[in-house]
Structure 1
């Protein structure tokens, strides 16, 4: 059964085909995809395909992606989750995005905290990594604020619209007991 996580203001839930319009709105937005390493979506079919990819990721135990839903409006405002899940090595990478109208409200901090905690406790992870475009100042600051440590720079690691970009690599590790 797909895990549902909750915070005071948000519900993290499975993304379904009924969310296709919200996923399309998110991933066709230049401000969202600017540092994503993904070209803008051009059709609702691409959103449905992404939703199916998220479902397969979970079914194949290679990751998990939640939809971020506001409790008050029931609006899907973004996604967050783990990919590159390697259970044997107890590690995964975290990724997230929130549509710009909901930026600077503390939502990203809220869901990152919840998902990192879930990763360490429920999934038994000992390391959670993140790869962020060096130019993405907001996300770089956010990860440091959330306790991630910068490990280095991956040169020309991601392409966006045919141009190579450097990325920072971060991690947070589960405290040893």
Structure 2
């Protein structure tokens, strides 16, 4: 069965300027300022983490889901400075259906600088060629125009808008769903 051949270690993926390596509890100190920043998290959650212990709990959850074959969690490291500048996750991973959703959080001073463009150039071959999965999804808050443009640039298909899917304590937000299928990836390769 497909699940038996799945990865047992989080692989290191490398781009020109960035390294994706498996998240570890020791990354909580570097991730806390990123995951607690309301501006950075505005398109992800209205309730950012409140302390480093919250980040450790998140990391523990990510790693548990990895061992259950439900997620692959990385930190994004800037190669020149060796700083953790964000995280990238393939989550909602379902091996039988061969699909996952991606999620990224990038430190504010690295946003709009091509980080995700580089990362997707490594993630897409890993996802479709190495893992041989079939469907990669990006669910994006409707106001997150930068992420929508990024996915469109890479050939993701806008599937539609899910209305009022997330509540931030004051207002509801629509979610725009994008996906790429393996056959589309192979056609555009």
Q: What range is the shorter-chain TM-score in? A: over 0.9
Given that 1:11 and 1:70 are in contact with CA atoms closer than 8 Å, whether structure 2 keeps it comes out as: yes
The answer for unaligned runs of 5 or more in structure 1 is none
Once the 2 structures are TM-superposed, how far is the Cα of residue 162 of structure 1 from its aligned partner? 5.0
CA contact (8 A) 2:134 2:181 kept: yes
* 1:116 counterpart = 2:102: no
**1:102 & 1:60 partners in 2: Cα distance?**
32
Matched, 1:106 2:118: no
TM-score of the pair, normalised by structure 2: 0.89
Could you tell me how far 1:37 is from its partner in structure 2?
2.8
Match of 2:169 among 145, 158, 161: 161
- Equivalent of 2:92 in 73, 78, 84: 84
**Residue of 4, 12, 36 corresponding to 2:12:** 4
- 1:96 corresponding residue in structure 2: 104
Q: 1:132 aligns with which of 136, 140, 148?
A: 140
Aligned length: 177
Instruction: Give the drift of 1:38.
Output: 4.9
CA contact (8 A) 1:81 1:115 kept: no
Q: Provide the alpha-carbon RMSD of the alignment.
A: 1.4
CA distance, structure 2, for counterparts of residue 161 and residue 26 of structure 1: 21
Partner of 1:63: 71
- In 2, distance between residues paired with 1:34 and 1:109? 20
Paired residue for 1:172, among 160, 173, 180?
Answer: 180
Query: What SS is found at the alignment partner of 2:143?
Result: coil
Mapped partners of 1:38, 1:121: distance in 2: 35
